[in-house]
Structure 1
Amino acid sequence: MNRTKSHDESVIEMIRQDPEFAVEYLRIAFEELDADGGQASFLTALRHVVEARGGMAEIAEKAGLSRESLYRALSPKGNPTLRTMRQVVHATGMTFASLT
């Protein structure tokens, strides 16, 4: 029997296949950051991009963070510093400027 992909797996696959989609996906989440639930949505979107661009261990290393710190920062209740978010965004090959 074929296993159905989860929503998260489908989004991650779309990000892997289309770099422009990755930027647009994160840009929309960034624009909605101030809305109710916006922070959790942005962290979910960033987590999807991280998974698509090499995974937690690889991006954590590129960002100069421990894997555990990255998991904690991008968890649904995470509260990463601006510095951490900047490091992670840069480690995925993007910049905050590309999200505006």
Structure 2
Amino acid sequence: MKKLESVPYDSADYLNTEEDVMAYLEACLEENDPEFFIYALGVVARSKGMTEISQRTGLGRESLYKSFGEGKHPRFETVYKVINALGLEFRLQPQAKGGIG
């Protein structure tokens, strides 16, 4: 019997368009898990090229890899810079179920 070979799955390999990226990040946000979202943001950054993101943010490439690894907690400033480097922006809106006040 012939042995089957498998290759590791990496979501970054499938984020080819802006629509793919947005759908992926929105789905990750819906999980309501900040750690998972940070990991997903790292996946998106890898899909665009960490060297490019590094140049756009002024942060070191290795530092970015470390900051967005599984279980990591990068500073808000780092997250903000990466989101901007990806051509995205933060937008706040009231929750459907209501918030403070």
* Fold in common (TM above 0.5): yes
Q: 1:83: which partner in 2? A: 77
Q: Percent identity?
A: 31
Q: 1:95: which partner in 2? A: 89
Task: Tell me how far apart the structure 1 counterparts of residues 34 and 54 of structure 2 sit (CA, whole Å).
Answer: 20
**TM-score normalised by the chain length of structure 1:** 0.72
Q: 1:47: which partner in 2? A: 42
Task: Tell me whether 1:14 sits opposite 2:9 in the alignment.
Answer: no
Number of corresponding residues? 89
The one-letter amino acid paired with 1:12 is A
Partner of 1:57: helix, strand, or coil? Answer: helix
Structure 1: runs of 5+ lacking an equivalent: none
- RMSD between aligned alpha carbons? 2.3
Task: Tell me how far apart the structure 1 counterparts of residues 64 and 43 of structure 2 sit (CA, whole Å).
Answer: 13
Task: Tell me whether 1:73 sits opposite 2:67 in the alignment.
Answer: yes
Structure 2: runs of 5+ lacking an equivalent: 93-101
- Residue among 41, 48, 56 paired with 2:50: 56
Q: Is the 8 A contact 2:12 2:47 kept in 1?
A: yes
